[in-house]
């Protein structure tokens, strides 16, 4: 029990909480490491790795071109950046997604492919990046380059006085983007520490057994007038053989056998 009673008020003693957790710090760390190992193993053997392939595009509206980038004003860059949201919506339309499926020969439906494709502006510039995420790195590259081949023409047909130019094709990624083994292990470690600490505190909170006189002094500020020794308690082993023998002799002389 980690509560104190003072003037008919009961409150939690944070000092006892810290002392209790420190007393079981080895157990808490062991449980945390165990959880970290479990989540690391789960991520390593049961979570499918994902790879990302990126194709880079440049927004080219009628007021400026890539060759005159030195003379581009801040307002023109802002306008080009705003167009990115429009282009992303055009890219993720059902017609374009189904065209990508047809040209690439993948076996996905519109909803599945749409979840795999994302796009973002690059640092508020006239550039934007289309990203395809897949468990197969070659498939991610092929889908990104299929989008790169059809997107400029589709945008020029839909958006007046604006077009998109391909800056860089996608290449086959060799490094996974997920899962992060370190992240899984860190989550497991934190979960194990929090869970074990919570269980220890919960058990102690509902423990109302008076273990010794210190318990009364710490929790109720009551003076201990006398204590009754436990005659049935085992003899402390720290005195060794001779200490045990002397204890036995003394008990016999005192009439206790």
pTM of the model: 0.66
CA distance 124 to 57: 13
Domains, the chain, in order of start with CATH, read: 3-41+183-226 (no CATH), 51-168 (3.30.70.1130), 231-257 (no CATH)
Q: In tens digits, what is the pLDDT along the chain, a chain of 257 residues?
A: 555 555 555 566 687 788 889 999 999 999 999 999 999 999 999 999 999 999 999 887 654 444 444 444 455 555 555 677 788 888 888 999 999 999 999 999 999 999 999 888 887 677 889 999 999 999 999 999 999 999 888 888 887 777 788 999 999 999 999 999 999 999 999 999 999 999 999 988 777 666 666 666 666 666 666 666 666 666 555 444 445 544 455 444 444 44
């Amino acid at each position: 029990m980690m509560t104190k009673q003072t003037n008919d008020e009961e409150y939690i003693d944070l000092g006892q909480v810290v002392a209790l957790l420190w007393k079981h710090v080895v157990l808490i760390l062991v449980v945390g490491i165990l959880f970290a190992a479990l989540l690391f193993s789960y991520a390593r053997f049961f979570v499918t790795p994902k790879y990302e392939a990126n194709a880079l595009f440049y927004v080219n509206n009628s007021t400026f071109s890539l060759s005159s980038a030195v003379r581009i004003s801040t307002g023109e860059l802002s306008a080009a950046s705003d167009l990115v949201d429009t282009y992303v919506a055009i890219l993720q339309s059902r017609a374009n997604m189904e065209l990508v499926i047809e040209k690439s020969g993948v076996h996905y439906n519109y909803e599945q492919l749409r979840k795999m494709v994302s796009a973002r502006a690059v640092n508020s510039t006239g550039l934007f990046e289309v990203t395809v995420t897949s468990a197969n790195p070659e498939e991610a590259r092929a889908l990104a380059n299929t989008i790169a081949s059809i997107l400029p023409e589709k945008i020029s047909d839909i958006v007046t006085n604006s077009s998109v130019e391909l800056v860089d094709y996608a290449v086959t990624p060799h490094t996974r983007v997920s899962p992060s083994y370190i992240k899984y292990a860190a989550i497991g470690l934190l979960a194990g520490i929090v869970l074990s600490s919570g269980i220890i505190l919960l058990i102690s909170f509902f423990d109302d057994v008076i273990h010794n006189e210190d318990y009364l002094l710490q929790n109720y500020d009551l003076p201990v007038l006398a204590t009754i020794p436990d005659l049935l308690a085992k003899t402390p082993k720290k005195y060794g053989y001779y200490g045990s023998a002397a204890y036995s002799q003394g008990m016999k002389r005192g009439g206790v056998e």
